[in-house]
Amino acid sequence: MLHYLIERRLQETVTAVCPSADTSQILVRPCVNSQFGDYQSNALMGLAKQKKMNPRRLAESVKERLDVGDYCEAVEIAGAGFLNFRLKNSAVVEVLKGACRGEHLFLQKSGKPRTIVIDFSSPNVAKPMHVGHIRSTILGDCLARTFRFMGHRVITDNHLGDWGTQFGKLLVGWRRHLDPAALAADPIGEMERLYRLVNEACDSEAEVLESARQELVKLQKGDPDNLAIWQKMIALSREQFDAIYGRLGVQFDFCLGESYYNPRLKSVVDQLVEAGMARESEGAMVVFFEDISELKAHPAIILKSDGAANYTTTDLATLLYRVETWRPDEIIYVTDARQQLHFKQVFTIFRRWQPQARPRLAHVWFGTILGEDGKPFKTRSGAIIKLADLLDEAEERAYQVVTAKNPELDEERRREIARIVGIGAIKYADLLPNRQSDYVFSWDKMLALNGNTAPYLLYAYTRIRSIFRRLSESSEAVYQLAEAADRPWSLTVVEEVVLAKHLLNLGLVLEAVSEEYRPNYLCNYLYELAGHFARFYETCPVLKAGGDERFQRLALCDLTSQVLQMGLGILGIETTDQM
Partner RNA sequence: GCGCUCGUAGCUCAGUUGGAUAGAGCAGCGGAUUUCUAAUCCGCGGGUCGCAGGUUCAAGUCCUGCCGAGCGUGCCA
User: Looking only at residues 450 through 479 of this chain, which bind RNA when binding is defined by CB under 7 A?
Assistant: 450-452, 455-456, 459, 462-463, 465-467, 469-470
Helix extents (H) in 337-386: 340-353
Among 205, 210, 294, 396, binds RNA (CB under 7 A): 294
Q: Residue 198 to residues 189, 201, 493: CA-CA distances in angstroms?
A: 14, 5, 71
Question: Considering only residues 321-340, where is the footprint of RNA by CB under 7 A?
Answer: 337-340
Question: Considering only residues 339-358, where is the footprint of RNA by CB under 7 A?
Answer: 339-342
User: Which part of the chain contacts RNA (CB under 7 A), choosing from 101-109, 192-200, 207-215, 278-286?
Assistant: 278-286
In the bound complex, what is the minimum distance in angstroms from residue 533's beta carbon to RNA? 9
- By rule CB under 7 A, what count of residues binds RNA? 104
**Closer residue to RNA in complex, CB, 183/460:** 460
User: Which part of the chain contacts RNA (CB under 7 A), choosing from 57-65, 170-178, 268-276, 431-439?
Assistant: 431-439
Helix axes 506-516, 520-539, angle to 10 degrees: 160
Rule CB under 7 A: is residue 105 a binding residue for RNA?
A: no
User: Regarding beta strands 284-287 and 278-281, do their DSSP bridges make them parallel or antiparallel, or are they unpaired?
Assistant: antiparallel
CA distance 556 to 552: 6
Q: Give the x/- contact pattern for RNA in 190-229, rule: CB under 7 A.
A: ----------------------------------------
**Closer residue to RNA in complex, CB, 94/511:** 511
User: Which part of the chain contacts RNA (CB under 7 A), choosing from 98-106, 127-135, 380-388, 516-524?
Assistant: 516-524
In the bound complex, what is the minimum distance in angstroms from residue 182's beta carbon to RNA? 26
User: Which part of the chain contacts RNA (CB under 7 A), choosing from 9-17, 149-157, 167-175, 299-307?
Assistant: 299-307
Q: Give the x/- contact pattern for RNA in 382-411, rule: CB under 7 A.
A: -------------------xx--xx-----
Among 226, 237, 314, 560, binds RNA (CB under 7 A): 314
On the CB side of 289, how many CA atoms lie within 13 Å of its CA?
20
12: Cα separation from own chain's centroid = 34
What DSSP state is assigned to residue 222?
Answer: T
Question: Considering only residues 362-381, where is the footprint of RNA by CB under 7 A?
Answer: 367-368, 370, 374
Contact between 438 and 367 under an 8 Å Cβ cutoff? The reply is yes
User: Which part of the chain contacts RNA (CB under 7 A), choosing from 56-64, 226-234, 245-253, 513-521?
Assistant: 513-521
Question: Considering only residues 3-32, where is the footprint of RNA by CB under 7 A?
Answer: 25-27, 29-32
Among 227, 284, 481, 498, binds RNA (CB under 7 A): 284
**Closer residue to RNA in complex, CB, 98/367:** 367
In the bound complex, what is the minimum distance in angstroms from residue 208's beta carbon to RNA? 18
Among 213, 247, 415, 445, binds RNA (CB under 7 A): 445
CA distance 526 to 563: 8
Among 34, 90, 231, 305, binds RNA (CB under 7 A): 305
DSSP track, 72-125: BS--EEETTTEEEE-B-HHHHHHHHHHHHTTS-SS----SS--EEEEE---PBT
**Residue 363, helix vs strand vs coil:** strand
Handedness of CA 175, 180, 182, 187 (dihedral sign): positive
CA distance 528 to 526: 5
What DSSP state is assigned to residue 258?
Answer: G
Contact between 115 and 329 under an 8 Å Cβ cutoff? The reply is yes
Among 9, 10, 18, 41, binds RNA (CB under 7 A): 41
**Closer residue to RNA in complex, CB, 201/464:** 464
CA distance 426 to 377: 14
In the bound complex, what is the minimum distance in angstroms from residue 6's beta carbon to RNA? 13
Contact between 388 and 129 under an 8 Å Cβ cutoff? The reply is yes
Among 290, 408, 476, 538, binds RNA (CB under 7 A): 538
Enumerate residues 6+ apart whose C-beta is below 8 A from 242: none
CA distance 28 to 84: 9
Among 11, 13, 520, 561, binds RNA (CB under 7 A): 520
Torsion angles phi and psi, residue 228, rounded to 5: -65, -45
484: Cα separation from own chain's centroid = 34
CA distance 558 to 546: 17
CA distance 561 to 463: 9
In the bound complex, what is the minimum distance in angstroms from residue 179's beta carbon to RNA? 26
Question: Considering only residues 63-102, where is the footprint of RNA by CB under 7 A?
Answer: 78-82, 84
Contact between 453 and 382 under an 8 Å Cβ cutoff? The reply is no
Among 433, 487, 562, 574, binds RNA (CB under 7 A): 433
User: First vs last Cα of the chain: how many Å apart?
Assistant: 32
Among 542, 556, 559, 570, binds RNA (CB under 7 A): 542
Residue positions counted in the chain? 579
Helix (H) or strand (E) holding 560: helix 547-570
In the bound complex, what is the minimum distance in angstroms from residue 490's beta carbon to RNA? 16
Rule CB under 7 A: is residue 512 a binding residue for RNA?
A: yes
Question: Considering only residues 135-174, where is the footprint of RNA by CB under 7 A?
Answer: 161, 164-165
Question: Considering only residues 548-567, where is the footprint of RNA by CB under 7 A?
Answer: none
User: Which part of the chain contacts RNA (CB under 7 A), choosing from 193-201, 266-274, 300-308, 349-357?
Assistant: 300-308
In the bound complex, what is the minimum distance in angstroms from residue 198's beta carbon to RNA? 16
237: Cα separation from own chain's centroid = 25
